[in-house]
Structure 1
Amino acid sequence: MAMAPLVLVALACGLDRLVGDPRGCIHPVVVMGWLISRLRGWAERWAANQPRRLRLAGVAITALLVGGSGLAGWGTERLAWSGPLGAVLLVVALASALAGRSLEQAVGAVLASVAACDLPLARQRLSWIVGRDTADLDAPEILRALAETASENAVDGLFAPLFWMLLGAGLWSLNPAWPGPLALAWGFKAASTLDSMLGYRRGRLRWLGTAGARLDDLLVWLPCRLVAVSLPLAAGQPGRSLEVLAAARRDGAADPSPNAGLSQAAYAHVAGVQLGGSNSYGGQMHRKPLLAAGLPAPDQAAVLQMLQLNRRLELIWLTAAAAVAFITKTLS
């Protein structure tokens, strides 16, 4: 029992790496996005431009979506005990919360366009995965954007949901009646989707998206710092763990997000490149803090190294979780 939930999580990680997000399939995040859009429409009709009502509606949307997603995951977990088909369903559902392969595919498509010197196509593909304006970016700026999204989205899309899965697997091994890996992972994905759709400081979203954005920041806080500590292990630099964490905290402190700057800084220091600088959003130029200042600008090899670090670190986390589960089983 101590190892069975972890085996399901490991199988889900393998499925994500093999298949990613198959086209034509209904994805849980798509369903969450549809619900958010419907709830947002209701909230804006009810609250109009009243900040207090908008904040209250944001809290209600967050509670409904995160709670409902967690309950849906918990119900799916209950089916896993009904037989092999239930276990297969659970593995597929768990894999849907991970974005390891899809991140690699998206970043790899832009890299291929840069390598082929097709910058218009590279800019178009980049615009699908970053929030900044891409129409006027040259090759070095495209590569910097890729390095920054590869590092930030590794935390948001892979390691944060994996952390909550592993925590849920631990809870489930103690008592199968408790919420387990899918309940926690889908609850996290709901908060993450809320942040990506409503977490903007403009218009009504300044108040409507506050609850979801703050919850997402809270749920990513610990996984982000665990990535910073463990990333040197994936690079074969175990003695740098505390150094990298300290440098990432220092460099990322100026970023308005408590997690984005820190995660990018950790990858920058481990990969040996400088990130940050000026980005254009909606035609407005914004200056981001420099991360690992003075190091070389990222090239294609550095971006590929970051993707490789993600694969290695995922394996390290699974191995560490297995060791903890084995020790727990032995001592119990």
Structure 2
Amino acid sequence: MIVAAGLDLLVGDPRWSPHPVVAMGRVITGLRHWVERGAGDRPLPLRAGGALITLVLVVGSGGTGWLLERLILPQSPLPHPLAAMLLVLALASALAARSLRDSVLAVLHALPDLPSARDRLSWIVGRDVSQLDQDDILRASAETASENSVDGLFAPLFWMLIGAGLWQAGFSQGPGPLALAWAFKASSTLDSMLGYKHGRLRWLGTAGARLDDLLTWLPCRLVLITLPLVSLPWTQWPTTVRAATADGRPDPSPNAGLSESIFAQCADVQMGGLNRYGNTWISKPVLSPQSGKATAEGVHKLLNLSLKLEASWLVAAAGWSLLQ
């Protein structure tokens, strides 16, 4: 896990390597077209079809990971160094620390060229960016860096650690770190592609979105309670966690509000407010209202806090494994 996380941070996703999320996306697109042809605009068949897509993708992705894990077992037909290298590459593919960091920094580097910054931002956020000024672009960058650090890094890392723990506990034939990480990645990809409340997706994306909320629930709250420990004096931990919880709870998402809120508190960056999605304006709760507006320096601080927390999780996991 430590090697995989380091590889993700150093090289990200190599362009020469096929990425599992791309394959997941193609499967989702194909299954969506198949379901919509049969279900039309009928809510119940769309919900059932969405549940079927979720089952196929999550079980298929986790099962593929489980099969690849068999390559590192003693009876593997592959040489051990090659099998270990394949596992590390597959684990790294489930983490998005480097890709998220590079994408957010690309937006910052484009400023103050607003058209270029908006174009780069449009690749990593769902909101309408066409009219955003520099302050809005910086706020959007801060928010996506915070929310996606949980979705793209800490949640898959959490499930990797759970899988490694199961192996260490003697369940070597069960799902391990790759199987659980890829199963989570499948649910996250489903949510990002289908988890919208408009058109047919109101029903088609329900199952995937709810599963993603469920699988992200505990990792999100672990970030909530651990991020202040690596970023602030320990005496500020109780008030920071309480403030972040109070600010983030009104968000309609059970996880996104808390994810953004704890990063806002720890980096002293204000987030939230009005966002435009297509022709709809959505008002998000203001997070860390006592803080100043997002700046380039504040966004850099958010990204560095993610790296610091990731390192702390890995050190804690390594220490726990040595004690067993």
Same fold (TM over 0.5): yes
Q: Greater CA deviation, 186-195 or 232-241? A: 232-241
**How far, CA to CA, are the matches of 1:244 and 1:70 in structure 2?**
36
Q: Deviations over 1:61-98 (max 9, x none)?
A: 11111001000000000002231111110000000000
**How far, CA to CA, are the matches of 1:226 and 1:240 in structure 2?**
17
* Number of equivalenced pairs: 318
Q: Deviations over 1:276-314 (max 9, x none)?
A: 011111132221110111311111111000111011100
For 1:5, the equivalent position in structure 2 comes to none
Is the aligned partner of 1:37 residue 2:29? yes
Matches within 5 A, 1:32-181: 32-81=24-73, 82=76, 83-114=80-111, 117-175=112-170, 176-181=172-177
**How far, CA to CA, are the matches of 2:39 and 2:104 in structure 1?**
39
**How far, CA to CA, are the matches of 1:155 and 1:242 in structure 2?**
21
The DSSP-based 3-state class of the residue aligned with 1:277 is strand
Q: Greater CA deviation, 82-91 or 145-154? A: 82-91
In the alignment, is the contact (CA less than 8 A) between 1:155 and 1:263 conserved in 2? yes
Q: Deviations over 1:230-282 (max 9, x none)?
A: 11122143333333332222111111100001100000111112110111111
**How far, CA to CA, are the matches of 1:238 and 1:164 in structure 2?**
27
Letter matched to residue 312 of structure 1: K
Matches within 5 A, 1:199-214: 199-214=195-210
Matches within 5 A, 1:248-327: 248-327=244-323
**How far, CA to CA, are the matches of 2:146 and 2:110 in structure 1?**
20
Give 1:13 shift: 0.2
**How far, CA to CA, are the matches of 1:237 and 1:43 in structure 2?**
52
In the alignment, is the contact (CA less than 8 A) between 1:70 and 1:184 conserved in 2? yes
The DSSP-based 3-state class of the residue aligned with 2:285 is coil
For 1:18, the equivalent position in structure 2 comes to 10
Q: Deviations over 1:153-201 (max 9, x none)?
A: 0000000000000010101122321210000000000000000011111
Q: Greater CA deviation, 45-54 or 12-21? A: 45-54
Q: Deviations over 1:18-75 (max 9, x none)?
A: 1101124311000000000011111111211221111111111111110010000000
**How far, CA to CA, are the matches of 2:16 and 2:276 in structure 1?**
33
Letter matched to residue 69 of structure 1: S
The two structures have a TM-score, normalised by structure 1, of 0.93
Identity within the alignment, %: 58
The two structures have a TM-score, normalised by structure 2, of 0.96
**How far, CA to CA, are the matches of 2:47 and 2:242 in structure 1?**
35
The DSSP-based 3-state class of the residue aligned with 1:288 is strand
Q: CA RMSD in A?
A: 1.1
**How far, CA to CA, are the matches of 1:239 and 1:182 in structure 2?**
37
Give 1:204 shift: 1.1
The DSSP-based 3-state class of the residue aligned with 1:297 is coil
